[in-house]
Structure 1
Amino acid sequence: MDLSRPLMTVTPTLDGDVLAVLANHDGIFTTGQLHRLLARHSEEGIRKVLRRLTKQGVVLSDRVGNAFAYRLNREHLAAEHIIGLARIQKTLLERIEDRLESWELPPVYAAVFGSAARGGMTEDSDVDLLLIRPDDADDDQWETQVHELAVEVTRWTGNDTRPLEFTEAELADRGYAEAVLRDVARDGLTVAGSRTWLTGHLRKGKG
C-alpha cells in the first residue's frame, strides 16, 4: 500500500489522486489548484477526470468567475467510502494506537517513521515502527506483543512491518548519535507516549 496515494488500493488512475485531494479538504479547487498539488499529472488530464467524476455525480462543479471550481459531493452514496480510503493513514495510526493501549506492557514511546511518515511510501516500502521498551519489561511477553503487532500491521497494509526497539536506557545512551532517532523526532508520527519525552531524552543523550 502507498499511504501517500491511498486510493491506489482500488484504482491506479489519476481519478484516485484527484478524489483523495477532494476528500481530505472541505474547500473547492480549480483545475489549476489541483494541478499544483498533483504536479505529476497534466492539467488537461486532471480536467478530463473532473468532467468524468462530475458526470458520475461524485464531484460537484461551481462556476467562479470565468472558471469552474470542484468539490466532493459528500452526499453521494460513494462519498463515505472515498473519504474512508483517502484517510487510510489516519485509520492505520488509530489502529496502532488502540493496539498499543491494550498491551499489558505498553511502550514508553512509539512512532511510525520513515517513508510511511514522510509521505514517500510505495507498495514495496516497509512500515517502520519505533518502540521504546520499559527497562523492566519481561522479555518473552514484550517480544510476543511486538511480533503480534507486526503481523497485524502487515495484514492491514500489505507491507512488511519493521519494528525498531530500544530500551529506555539504550535511548539515553545513544542520544542524537543515532540518525534514525533524529528522523523520528523530526518526522515521526507518535502513536504512544509524548514526542516531548522523546526529544528530552535525546537531548540528555547528546549531553
Structure 2
Amino acid sequence: MELNRPLATVTPTLDGDVLAVLAGFEGTYTTGQLHRVLGRHSEEGIRKALRRLVRQGVVHADRVGNAFAYRFNRDHLAAEYITGLAGLRGKLLERIEAALAAWKPRPRYAAVFGSAARGSMTAESDIDLLLVRPDDADEDRWGLQVDGLAADVSRWTGNDARILEFTVAEVVARGRDEPVLSDVVRDGLTVAGRHAWLAGQIRKRKS
C-alpha cells in the first residue's frame, strides 16, 4: 500500500486521492488548492473527479463568486468508511505503538522513517523502522520481538518491513556519525520513547 495515497488500496484513481485530502480536512478546497496539495494530476482532471464525487453526494460544492469550493460530506453514509481509509497512516502508527508498548523490554526509542514518513511511498516501498535496543536486553528475546513486529507490519500493509537496529550505547557513541539517525530526527514519526532523546544524542555529538 501507499500510506500517502491511502484510498489507493481500494481505488487507485484520482477520485481516491481527492477524497483522501478532503476527508482529512474540515474546511473547503478550491480546485487550484487541491492541485497544489496533491502535487500531481492536472487541474482539469481534478475538476472532473470533483464533479463525479459531487454527483455521488460524498462531496459538496459551494459557489464562491465565479468559482466553487469543495468540502467532504461527513453526513454521507459512506463518510465513516472513507475517513477510516484516509487515516490509515495514523492507524498503522497506533498499531506499532501498541505492539511496542507490550514488549519486554521496550525499545528506548523507535520511529517510522524513510518514504513512509516523508509521504513519498510507492506500492513497492519498504516500511522503514528504527529501533533502539536497551543495552541489557536479552538478544534472543529481543530478536523474536523484532521478527514478530516485521511480520505484523507486512501483514497489516502488504509492504515489507525493513527494521534498522541500534543499541543505546551505539546511539550515544556514534550520534551524528550515522546519517540515518539525523534523517530520523528530521523526518521520523516516533512510535516509542521521546523524539527529544534521540535529538539530544545528535546534538551532543555536534558540540
Contact 1:59 1:73 in 2 (8 A): yes
**Cross-structure match for 1:26:** 26
- RMSD (Å) for aligned C-alpha atoms: 1.0
| Deviation at residue 204 of structure 1 after TM alignment | 2.8
Report what 2:142 is aligned to.
Answer: 142
The letter for the 2-side match of 1:38 is L
> Do 1:117 and 1:187's aligned partners in 2 also have CA atoms closer than 8 Å?
yes
Letter in 1 for 2:165: E
Equivalent residues, number: 207
The residue type paired with residue 66 of structure 1 is: N
Name stretches of at least 5 consecutive residues in structure 1 with no aligned partner: none
Give the partner amino acid of 1:119.
G
Q: How does 1:186-201 map onto structure 2 within 5 Å?
A: 186-201=186-201
Q: Bigger CA drift: 32-41 or 128-137?
A: 32-41
In the aligned structure 2, how far is the partner of 1:39 from the partner of 1:174? 37
Offset, 1:206 = 4.2
Question: Hey, what's the Cα distance between the residues in 2 that align with 1:201 and 1:130?
Answer: 15
Distance 1:74 1:170 in 2: 48
- Rounded to whole Å, the distance in 1 between the matches of 2:55 and 2:202 is 54
Shift of 1:30: 1.3
Secondary structure of residue in 2 paired with 1:76: coil
Q: How far does the alpha carbon of each residue in 1:100-124 deviate from its partner, in whole angstroms, 9 at most, with x for none?
A: 1111210000000011101111111
Q: Distance in 1 between matches of 2:77 and 2:116?
A: 30
| 1:61-120 deviations in Å (ceiling 9; x for gaps) | 111111111111001111111111111111100110010111121000000001110111
- Tell whether the 8 Å contact from 1:115 to 1:125 is kept in structure 2 after alignment: yes
Contact 1:108 1:132 survives alignment (8 Å) = yes
Aligned partner of 2:90 in structure 1 is: 90
Task: Report whether the alignment pairs 1:61 with 2:61.
Answer: yes
Q: Distance in 2 between matches of 1:175 and 1:31?
A: 45
Code of the aligned partner of 1:19: L
The Cα shift of 1:10 comes to 0.6
| 8 Å CA contact 1:171, 1:205 repeated in 2 | no
Matched position secondary structure for 2:68: strand
1:73 matched to which residue of 2?
73
Moved over 6 A (4+): none
Gaps of 5+ in 2: none
Query: Could you tell me how far apart the structure 2 residues matched to 1:69 and 1:96 are?
Result: 37
Structure 1 CA distance, aligned partners of 2:111 and 2:35? Answer: 32
TM value normalised by structure 1: 0.97
